[in-house]
């Protein structure tokens, strides 16, 4: 596995990023945002694997401008989730119009920040920047890769497993720690899919198909937990800004979301037993 293969994977993910990224300012729909966020996470996992497993530790990381755009997209997505929940649960008699208007205005304001959004040529330039670093690193040396990214993968998986084991052994399971478990599991999932979809081979010595499905279910639960936590924080902030502080609809939604968080956390904790096995 030489540089041409690593370069082609880099190009594939950058192309997908650009396709979704340039559309977000004018078409910030759920699917476009999802594709951008997923592909940036896949690219980050791939670059981190190459960097951690490389002898000279090349600066293979997401450019700052791309990170800034990713954070902005996350801000938009979080508020879209809040709006979706509000519109699903509120009644005509509920006083949530001000909250909905405030969230919609915040999304519009975020989309208007033109300096954040990358154009197609800027995505191309960022890809070339990463490609140059990749070409100059020891990752590009075929003799270091007797099997597809074997050394890099082993180092990366060990790091991610250690991060998860530290949380599981501590046994506190605070909200941020649950998010840490999810992030590390997702990083390993992204690499497993990279092997399957891009390298056309299973991850050597790692997860079976059944275990991949189990991890996908667990990360879905943890993702729903984190989304509920984030949406609750945003809605509580909006509630504190209103005068009087929110209506019955908002209070009822926050109460429901508090219960939902507890249910999702219990479900995740039960699945952790299998993760520890």
Counted domains in the chain: 1
What is the residue range of 177's domain?
Answer: 3-276
What residue ranges of the chain have pLDDT lower than 70? 1-4, 91-94, 138-151, 201-206, 242-247, 276-277
Q: Residue 136: give its domain's CATH number.
A: 1.40.20.10
Rg (CA), the chain: 21
Q: What is the pLDDT of residue 146?
A: 42
Distance CA 134, CA 188 (A): 21
Are 225 and 271 spatial neighbours (Cβ–Cβ below 8 Å)?
Answer: no
Q: Which residues are CB-neighbours of 196 under 8 A, at least 6 positions away?
A: 202, 203
Distance CA 271, CA 99 (A): 36
């Amino acid at each position: 596995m030489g540089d041409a293969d690593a370069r082609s994977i880099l190009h594939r993910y950058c192309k997908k990023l650009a396709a979704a990224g340039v559309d977000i300012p004018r078409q910030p729909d759920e699917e476009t945002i999802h594709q951008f966020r997923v592909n940036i996470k896949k690219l980050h996992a791939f670059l981190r694997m190459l960097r951690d497993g490389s002898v000279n530790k090349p600066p293979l990381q997401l450019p700052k401008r791309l990170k800034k755009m990713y954070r902005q997209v996350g801000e938009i997505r979080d508020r879209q989730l809040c709006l979706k929940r509000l519109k699903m649960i509120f009644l005509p008699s509920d006083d949530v119009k001000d909250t909905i208007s405030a969230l919609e205005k915040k999304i519009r304001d975020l989309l208007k920040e033109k300096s954040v959004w990358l154009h197609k040529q800027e995505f191309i330039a960022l890809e070339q920047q990463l490609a140059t670093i990749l070409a100059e690193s020891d990752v590009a040396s075929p003799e270091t890769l007797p099997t597809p990214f074997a050394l890099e993968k082993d180092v990366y998986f060990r790091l991610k497993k250690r991060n998860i084991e530290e949380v599981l052994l501590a046994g506190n399971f605070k909200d941020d720690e649950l998010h840490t478990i999810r992030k590390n599991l997702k990083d390993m999932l992204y690499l497993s899919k990279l092997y399957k979809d891009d390298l056309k081979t299973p991850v050597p010595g790692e997860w079976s198909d059944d275990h991949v499905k189990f991890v996908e279910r667990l990360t879905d639960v943890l993702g729903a937990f984190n989304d509920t936590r984030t949406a609750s924080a945003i809605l509580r902030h909006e509630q504190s800004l209103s005068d009087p502080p929110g209506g019955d609809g908002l209070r009822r939604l926050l109460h429901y979301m508090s219960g939902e968080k507890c249910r999702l956390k219990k479900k995740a904790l039960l699945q952790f037993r299998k993760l520890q096995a």
